[in-house]
Structure 1
Amino acid sequence: MAEFETVRRSSAGVRTAQIDQGLRAHMNKVYGTMSVGMLITALAAWAISGLAVTTDPSLAVAQIGADKYLNSFGAAIYTSPLRWVIMFAPLAFVFGLSAGINRLSEAAAQLTFYAFAAVMGLSLSSIFLVFTGYSIVQTFLITAIAFAGLSLYGYTTKKDISGWGSFLIMGLIGLIVAMVVNIFLASPAVQFAISAIGVLIFAGLTAYDTQRIKTQYLEMVNAGAGDWLGKAAIMGALNLYLDFINLFMFLLQFLGNRE
């Protein structure tokens, strides 16, 4: 961040204007790609949850509420061993895209990101069976407002927050370990603590990742790697997308009303 401001101030007026204009275009692409991914995820989750449920008892495989049943498709994706594949498929996409970004064209990387967003929608579709639609929409709007504020802070702050990275990553690793342990403990108190810590970690990561995307833009421009900016925007969109999704899911544990 300090490097960005130093180079920007020492540049000639035209050069400074070019950097600012290029950065705005880069960030617009990051947020635009992320927004399309979020829309794909939301539509996929809503559509798949609708296909998985029936009100016809003759088609029911399992009852999940008053006059609401899982059909054979719903039972396959939510109660069979296939659910583990669906659960971990988004993680495989993230690792695959991160490892293969250098070999993919920009168009292929963007298409992979959108495919990942659709698979994430499949993975998250069960929330429409667990929580009320109103609470999901309410939590999404709260998350969007919080995310916008945190990302704006990361973009505009003059303070270098790159030092947050190691602390947040260590916290994230600890959080994952706690979540795995609580699968066996099934403790409501531990789950509450996990949700609270998760909100704090991903709030910090939202600001941190935004500033990192901004700094990386300058580094790539100065290194003459402008041809990589398109892929960098896609990876930036992926990072912010994951921050948003995780922030939303942890907030839903607090704010969501269950069916």
Structure 2
Amino acid sequence: MAYDYEKNVRSQASISEIDLGLKAYMNKVYSFMAFGLALTGALAHLTSSLAFDFSTNTMTSFGAAIYTSPLAFIIMLSPLAFIIALNFGVAKMKESTLQILFWAFAAVMGVSLSSIFIQYTGESVARVFFITAGAFGGLSLYGYTTKKDLSGWGSFLFIGLIGILLASIVNMFMQSTGLQFAISAIGVLVFAGLTAYDTQRIKAMYYDGYGQEGKKAIMGALSLYLNFINLFIMLIQLFGQRR
């Protein structure tokens, strides 16, 4: 439990020392996440510009290669491969290796999400991004400051996440707009909850003894990055203006 860790560690070190360490640790988490999002956004915009001629509304040869050829499946599945590698290799990897994989993952995500700039207007992408940023900031702040133990949310959020995944796979074949709306609406609630839950969990990771703070910060940033990206995707599916 988050508060058990805090109590045990505070008995061994001064409160000011712990608080300064926690602040530096969380700053590192949010910095990794923010720079990861910036890299993803920049590459997504660049890729869409190379893949689609917006003046003529036609796809370029590069766009055809990454969106309609077998390469599209590789691009679509690559982020999942990175997530698996990061989660299962964290114990054995050096911090520098973990960091390189994180940046590579953020870059691949940028290419994978580039079609958003083609499907939706730039104005709606920007609007939904700022809505997502505001919501994420408030939810993460709640998770960081609340005295309520959010660990009980974990099982419910995990079930919701599995439900969204299964429904999304089914809708790939059904192509139902009603089901897609339901997936997006429920997805907003799930990833909103995960943002608060993961923030408290990441904070608790710091109190789980000293050492490996660098690795913990990277993995914490990965969790929050994924929550932000998925919250953004769900919101733009609900409120984005298509071209």
Structure 1 length-normalised TM: 0.90
Question: For this pair of structures, how many residues does the alignment match?
Answer: 242
Equivalence for 2:218? 234
Quote the residue 2:176 is aligned against.
187
User: Structure 1 residues 172 and 105 mapped into 2: Cα distance closer, same or farther (>3 Å)?
Assistant: same
Pairing 1:3–2:4 present: yes
Q: 88, 102, 116: which one pairs with 2:105?
A: 116
Deviation sequence 1:103-140 (CA, Å, 0-9, x none)? 22111111110010000000000011100000001000
1:146-202 deviation digits (Å, cap 9, x = unpaired): 000000000000000101111111110111001101111111111100000000000
Q: What do you get for the CA RMSD once the two structures are aligned?
A: 1.4
Could you say which residue in structure 1 is the equivalent of 2:137? 148
Runs of 4+ more than 3 Å apart: 4-8
Q: Deviations over 1:202-231 (max 9, x none)?
A: 00000000000111110133xxxx1x1100
The offset of 1:81, in angstroms, is 1.9
Provide the rounded CA distance (Å) in 2 between the counterparts of 1:92 and 1:220. 30
Q: 1:50 & 1:183 partners in 2: Cα distance? A: 26
1:243 matched to 2:205: no
Alignment of 1:51-66 (within 5 A): 51-54=50-53
Distance 1:102 1:161 in 2: 26
Which residue, 159, 165, 189 being the options, matches 1:200?
189
Aligned-partner Cα distance in 2 for 1:195–1:205? 15
Assess if the C-alpha contact under 8 Å between 1:76 and 1:83 holds in 2.
yes
Aligned equivalent of 2:202: 213
* 1:163-182 superposed matches below 5 A: 163-182=152-171
Residues 224-244 of structure 1 deviation map (CA, whole Å, 9 limit, x = unaligned): xx1x11001000000000000
Structure 1 counterpart SS, 2:208: helix
**Among the aligned pairs, what percent are the same residue?**
56
Partner of 1:61: none
CA contact (8 A) 1:220 1:229 kept: no
Q: What secondary structure does 1:220 align onto?
A: coil
Give the match for residue 24 of structure 1: 23
* SS of structure 1 residue aligned to 2:58: strand
Cα deviation for residue 38 of structure 1 reads 0.4
TM-fit CA distance, 1:92: 0.5
Following TM superposition, by how much is the alpha carbon of 1:5 offset from its aligned partner in structure 2, in angstroms?
5.0
1:137 aligns with 2:122: no
Asked which structure has the greater CA Rg, the reply is: 1
Point out where structure 1 has 5 or more consecutive residues left out of the alignment. Answer: 56-65
The answer to whether structure 1 residue 96 and structure 2 residue 96 are counterparts is no
Q: What TM-score do the two structures reach when normalised by structure 2?
A: 0.96
- Residue identity opposite 1:218 in structure 2: Y
